[in-house]
Structure 1
Amino acid sequence: MLDDLLRLHDGVITLDQAARCGLSRHAVNRHVRSGHWRRCSQGVFFVDDRAFTDAARIRASVWGYGPRATASGLAAAWWFGLTKFAPEVVEVTVPRNSHGRSRQGTRLRRRDLMPADVVERDDLQVTALPLTAVEASVQRGGGPNLMDTALQRHTNLRPLWNAHLRNKGRYGSPAARRLLQAADGGARSAAERLFAQLLRQAGITGWKANQRVAGYEVDYAFEASKVAIEIDGLAFHSDPDDFQRDRVKQNALALAGWQVLRFTWLDLTEYPERVIAEVNRAISAR
């Protein structure tokens, strides 16, 4: 039973869990004195016969604040697979009336989370995926690409909006609202306005917005060079019918001799120089 628990918990174990496996406090202390177990914090231990992985580090950090602690922010995002790299500092949320100070390697947030915003994943309490995506996407190391990943692979926009509205007033709330608006149905127009602004700032001319080409309306058309630009908002989170229509449209444009470039909100906000460079390359080559 102990071996199974350690395997499932990345080698991390609490004093209460050890007791349920039949180990007394004296037996736990003996393991620590022998060097087989490492004390991570009060009541939390790591069995030092394996690598101390990022999962073990995050689990130990959260459990070190007690049974009501919840992994949040980028730590929760990594736990859900929304980010590739685990954060160096583990964000942990505890209830407002909790005691204790923040420890090295962690960032402590005191707030009362609603039941809808907390889930258990692999025996670790974490903020639910919608709230995780909303909060982590506006933190340094997160960014719009994190919300983009959540919308493409894990959820849709409504749960993200609901999580945001349940937690208004938190740090980063205005920035999260702007990202959600950018992903919303009318956000494509905001992305189009941003693209037009980038073109003007770069001094690129010869384009027209919302032009019909080969029987379809394109967002931006460079008629002289036969280059069409399509803006896709924040993420490719449309339904299968929209996806199919976009492909039929793109094929029709290509058969009519037009080159099609597609950019997302993420491209426009995170990599504007690359966007402009690609546009310049396309219109110069035709």
Structure 2
Amino acid sequence: MLNDHLRRHDGVLTLSQARLMGMSRSAVHRRVRSGLWRQCARGVYFVDDRPFSDAARIRVGVWSCGETAVASGLTAAWWHSLTRFAPNVVEVTMPRNGSGRAPRGVRLRRRNLASEDIVECKGLRVTSRPLTVLEAAVRTRDGAKIMDRALQADVALRDLWRAQLRNNGRYGSPSARVLLQAASDGARSTAERLLLRLLREAGITGWQANYPVGRYRVDVGFKGPKVAIEVDGLAFHIGSDEFHQDRVRQNHITLLGWQVLRFTWLDLTEYPDRVIALIKSAISM
């Protein structure tokens, strides 16, 4: 039992877990004194016959805060494989009435979470994927990418909105709402507004929003150089019918002598300088 637990939990166990497997407190202490086990925090141990991995460090950080603690923020994002690198500081959320202090290397936040926002993943209590996406997306420069990848994979937009509404008022809630609005049905209009703001800030003139080209309208049109700009919202999904109609539309505009530039929400938020440079190059030809 013990070896199986250690294999599945990165070599980390708590005193209560050891007791459930039939070990006495004195047996645990003997292993610590002999150097076989390392005490990492009060009641949390690491069996020192393997590398102390990032996963082990995170387990220790969460379990050291008690049975009601959950990994959250960027820590939960890494645990859910939403990000590539484990954060240096372990982020933990526990109920407001929970007892205990954050040990070194742990950032502790006290907030009551709904049961829907807590899951067990690989033997560790963590925030659910929807709440994790919302919290991680506002904590890093690549936040829009985190939300985009999650939406393109297995997280439903409605579940993100539900998690947002259950946790209104938390740190980063307003910023998460902006991303959610960009991912909703109004994504195109949100992306369009962002594009127009970038054009104004760059001092680019001579364009018109919602410009008519043939029997269609493009998001932004430059009449003189005949440059049309189209934007897609966050997590842009398109079915086969929509894909076909979109290509018919773009081909029609191109045959009228217009150059079409297409940008995504991620282009506008993550690479605005590149977007502006391409537009300037196109309208100067």
Fold similarity call, TM over 0.5: yes
Equivalent pair of 2:183/2:235 in contact (CA under 8 Å): yes
Indicate the residue corresponding to 1:15 in structure 2: 15
Indicate the residue corresponding to 2:231 in structure 1: 231
Q: Distance in 1 between matches of 2:196 and 2:115?
A: 43
Indicate the residue corresponding to 1:180 in structure 2: 180
3-state SS in 2 of match to 1:221: strand
CA 238–38 in structure 1, closer or farther in 2 if over 3 Å, else same: farther
Where do 5+ consecutive residues of structure 1 fail to align? none
**Deviations 1:173-217, CA, capped at 9 Å, x for gaps:** 222222212222123212212212211222323433334547543
Of 258-267 and 77-86, deviating more is 258-267
CA drift at 1:92: 0.6
CA drift at 1:249: 4.3
Residue identity opposite 1:113 in structure 2 = L
Indicate the residue corresponding to 1:157 in structure 2: 157
Where do 5+ consecutive residues of structure 2 fail to align? none
3-state SS in 2 of match to 1:68: coil
Indicate the residue corresponding to 1:135 in structure 2: 135
CA 53–260 in structure 1, closer or farther in 2 if over 3 Å, else same: farther
Q: Distance in 1 between matches of 2:53 and 2:252?
A: 50
**Deviations 1:230-249, CA, capped at 9 Å, x for gaps:** 21122224556545544554
**Deviations 1:249-277, CA, capped at 9 Å, x for gaps:** 44565666654332222322333212101
CA 72–251 in structure 1, closer or farther in 2 if over 3 Å, else same: farther
CA drift at 1:140: 4.0
Equivalent pair of 1:151/1:237 in contact (CA under 8 Å): no
Residue identity opposite 1:149 in structure 2 = R
Of 8-17 and 71-80, deviating more is 8-17
CA drift at 1:224: 4.3
Residue identity opposite 2:233 in structure 1 = G
Q: Does 1:209 align with 2:209?
A: yes
Q: Distance in 1 between matches of 2:36 and 2:234?
A: 49
Which residues of 2 match residues 21-60 of structure 1 at below 5 A? 21-60=21-60
3-state SS in 2 of match to 1:273: helix
Q: Distance in 2 between matches of 1:15 and 1:63?
A: 10
Of 191-200 and 251-260, deviating more is 251-260
Indicate the residue corresponding to 2:89 in structure 1: 89
CA 188–88 in structure 1, closer or farther in 2 if over 3 Å, else same: same
- The TM-score with structure 1 as length reference comes to 0.89
CA drift at 1:91: 1.1
- The TM-score with structure 2 as length reference comes to 0.89
Equivalent pair of 2:65/2:101 in contact (CA under 8 Å): no
Indicate the residue corresponding to 2:111 in structure 1: 111
CA 105–259 in structure 1, closer or farther in 2 if over 3 Å, else same: farther
Equivalent pair of 1:74/1:142 in contact (CA under 8 Å): no
What RMSD over aligned residues (CA atoms) do the two structures have, in Å? 2.4
Equivalent pair of 1:156/1:237 in contact (CA under 8 Å): no
Indicate the residue corresponding to 2:71 in structure 1: 71
How many residues matched? 285
Q: Does 1:122 align with 2:93?
A: no
Indicate the residue corresponding to 2:222 in structure 1: 222
Q: Distance in 2 between matches of 1:246 and 1:29?
A: 68
